[in-house]
Structure 1
Amino acid sequence: MDPLIAATHADPYPYYAQLRAEGGLTFHPGLNLWLASSARAVAAVLAHPDCHVRPALEPVPKAIAGSLAGEVFGRLMRMNEGERQRCPRSVIEPGLQLFDPLEVEALVAARLIAPGAEGLQAAMFLGPVCVVAALLGFSPAQGRIISELTADFVACLSPLSTATQREAANAAAEQLGGYFMELLDDQMPRTALLSGICQRFAKASTDPQTLTANLIGLLSQTFEATAGLIGNSVLALKQQPALHRESIDIDDLLAEVQRFDPPVQNTRRFVSTSCEIEGVRLNAGDTVLVLLTSANRDPQLNDDPDRFLLERPNRRSFTFGAGHHQCPGQKLALSIASATVARILAVNPVLDTLKWNYRPSLNGRIPNFTE
């Protein structure tokens, strides 16, 4: 076991506990990186100004540098620091807090969800992107195409992507850019979300390409993270039949799943300047693998952390990040996931017959279901 394999291991949590016991911030010589495994270390790394989201000498991964997908990547607020992060975030984030949950429920309900594994997969991966696309003003037909293009684009963001996937991602980036340019050029009528974004954009010192890139980024963030949250919630219901009852509070279920078995297991930070964190000296150029899910299971963060408790008091989690790079769409993601899980349960799926494995990933824990 190593911390990269752990993300898709059947049960990585004893391994994470072992890492915490060895120290909150330790060096892994085999992977040549530091591991932040305790709640204290994870919080300290995420908050430290010298721990950046990309290495200074490689702002865009080499595999996609110079490509259309790489151009989008290089403008994403979540992959930048300073003004290149703050400015697009100030344009997009406020609207993600002001959506109408009833509208989200209606958009989810408008999509037919089949009870089998194929229907579940579509509800997990395509449905959430269709909801965000609709909130931005795309038609249902456009939303279906955009969700498929987003799936193609997201594939290039993984270090495990193939040349074929990267080529498809470039084509998807071009097409998604075209869809957003048309949407932004169309003055009327605009949805509340898009109208607010456009008003803030008009006052911001950002360029149209950065806005378009971050709208694509909003879709790509929705695609995998929300799919994993929905899928892992279904797994919790499958593995703990006592939870599968009519009176279950879906919001409580999601809140505990995102702490207990989250879709994002780790993230990385790159040391820009030599610094000291938790008594450990880090050098410029060092990489820190931030084990978010290990911190979630730290007894210093949550009491009795290895128990799945729907009504957990004072629940705390690093799944959506922390600090200035904390996920701005957490509230919307949870709302979409809640409405989707409720609709999945409404079609009364036979969970006992579902089989699954995890999508290949170095940081995500996202199930693929089959029958």
Structure 2
Amino acid sequence: MSEVCLFNPYDPAFLADPYTTYRTLLNQAPLFKLPADFLQRSLSDTDWCLSRYEDVSLALRDRRFVREWENAKPAQAQAEAAANPHPTPPPMLQTYFAGMNSMMLFRDPPAHTRLRTLVNKAFTPIAIESLRPRITDLVEYLLQPLTSGSQVDLISEFALPLPVMVIAEMLGVAVADRDLFKSWSLRIARSIDATLSDPQVLQEAAEAYRDLSAYLKDVIADHRRHPREDILTNLIRAEEDGERLNEQELLSSCIILLVAGHETTTNLIGNGFWTLHRHPDARELWREQPEWSTSAVEEILRFEPPVQRTMRYVSDTVQMGDVLLSRGDSVYLLLAAANRDPAVFANPDVFDITRKPNRHLSFAAGIHFCLGAPLARLEGEIALTRLAQSSLVVDSDVPLWRNMTVLRGLEALQAHAE
């Protein structure tokens, strides 16, 4: 078997079923060196794939694995970059890259620590739990027209609008502008997928970032003038040792909340209902014993995670088994593979909503553990519990997956009410 065949996210067969590849990696090459320049947009000379739970968990928690290339760039790379600077991108792309790189998700301490501390003050457990009644109402509102008996697309008519509506209300966005939010979010999310390098994708993402930023600046200004009881007002008010989020940090926090929260929750709901379709016994158990709802959502997150992988740069020498990782190497952490490591999960390819413990890594771990995990879990639990109880059934056994490999979700899911 050639090296490329071990991990090829561009292969349509991988898009349809990445888990066969993950099983091969876990069995044959849990620490796999990718061919040179195989993954697009790589800044390093050496790229690794980690699939074993122990290794992925270590890389998520160990401070030698960083998010910012500048904190891992070898001296030679710094000299080469100074001698051969890349062409300066157009101003709009510069703004887009600067804005994305300022997001907490892509920062290391101490900047990350400061941002996380401030944003945590708005994302309190009480603030998230207070959304439960409203999310429940939105689920019922969206589900009602889907149970008339005609065929519906569960993604576009339920899984996609629900998190957008929730986030829009959290930010105080007008109902009429929710479709704009969806459009902006989708275009930015496509650019995050590491397998996409089409300049048109980046251009569309930059345009979406520009328009979304302009829109949010007006929303933030209105919230400053007229504070209200929502997450955005809490973000504006958040303070620690005299520090507050500046305008760019507020923008970045709102944008990552929209894009990450929207994409992952849409995929959680869609992937979850598809998985229940493939495992009717689990759906029946959930329907008869809704007390398994929390456990069921965790198993969906493990079994068919919305985020398949993340990445880090190596800032210092790291010994992993008999392999030495060097400063400047990049590592692709295959979260979805780690979630099926038989060393941690008994019968990892079996979908079991009663599985306990369930220490999956779908929300990452360490200092970058997903800030929106409580909200995603809450939305997923309410939405999927209701879907499990509904009369909706999926119409096809052939799923239509989106052409993305970092974020995994369905393009459409046709269903009807029996």
Same fold flag (TM > 0.5) = yes
- Residue among 3, 9, 21 paired with 2:7: 3
Partner of 1:114: 146
Partner of 1:39: 53
SS of the residue 2:361 aligns to: coil
Partner of 1:221: 260
> How many residues were matched structurally?
369
Distance of aligned partners of 1:368 and 1:2 in 2 relative to their CA distance in 1, 3 Å threshold? farther
**In the alignment, structure 1 residue 103 sits paired with structure 2 residue 138:** no
Stretch deviating more after TM superposition (361-370 or 25-34): 25-34
SS of the residue 2:253 aligns to: helix
Structure 2 CA distance, aligned partners of 1:94 and 1:242?
41
Stretch deviating more after TM superposition (49-58 or 63-72): 63-72
TM-fit CA distance, 1:275: 2.8
Cα displacement string for residues 226-273 of structure 1 (whole angstroms, at most 9, x for unaligned residues): 122111111111111223333253433221111112121111111123
SS of the residue 1:146 aligns to: helix
The code of the aligned residue for 2:110 comes to: E
Structure 1 CA distance, aligned partners of 2:60 and 2:322?
16
Structure 1 CA distance, aligned partners of 2:352 and 2:412?
25
Partner of 2:62: 48
**In the alignment, structure 1 residue 80 sits paired with structure 2 residue 80:** no
The code of the aligned residue for 2:49 comes to: L
Structure 1 CA distance, aligned partners of 2:164 and 2:182?
5
Gaps of 5+ in 2: 39-45, 74-80, 82-87
TM-fit CA distance, 1:183: 2.1
Structure 1 CA distance, aligned partners of 2:247 and 2:66?
25
TM-fit CA distance, 1:343: 4.6
TM-fit CA distance, 1:347: 5.7
Cα displacement string for residues 323-356 of structure 1 (whole angstroms, at most 9, x for unaligned residues): 0011011010111122233454566323134642
Q: Is the 8 Å Cα contact of residues 68 and 313 (structure 2) preserved in structure 1?
A: yes
SS of the residue 2:160 aligns to: helix
Structure 1 CA distance, aligned partners of 2:214 and 2:174?
15
Partner of 1:324: 367
Structure 1 CA distance, aligned partners of 2:89 and 2:289?
45
Q: Is the 8 Å Cα contact of residues 256 and 308 (structure 1) preserved in structure 2?
A: yes
Q: Is the 8 Å Cα contact of residues 25 and 36 (structure 1) preserved in structure 2?
A: yes
Stretch deviating more after TM superposition (134-143 or 1-10): 1-10
TM-score, structure 1 normalization: 0.89
Partner of 1:26: 32
Identity among equivalent pairs (%): 24
SS of the residue 1:262 aligns to: coil
Structure 1 CA distance, aligned partners of 2:193 and 2:96?
12
Q: Is the 8 Å Cα contact of residues 297 and 305 (structure 1) preserved in structure 2?
A: yes
Q: Is the 8 Å Cα contact of residues 24 and 40 (structure 1) preserved in structure 2?
A: no
TM-score, structure 2 normalization: 0.79
Partner of 1:288: 331
Stretch deviating more after TM superposition (309-318 or 21-30): 21-30
Partner of 1:191: 229
Cα-Cα RMSD: 2.8
SS of the residue 2:370 aligns to: coil
Cα displacement string for residues 19-45 of structure 1 (whole angstroms, at most 9, x for unaligned residues): 223354332336452121111111111
Gaps of 5+ in 1: none
Between structure 1 and structure 2, the one with the greater Rg is 2
Q: Is the 8 Å Cα contact of residues 108 and 131 (structure 1) preserved in structure 2?
A: no
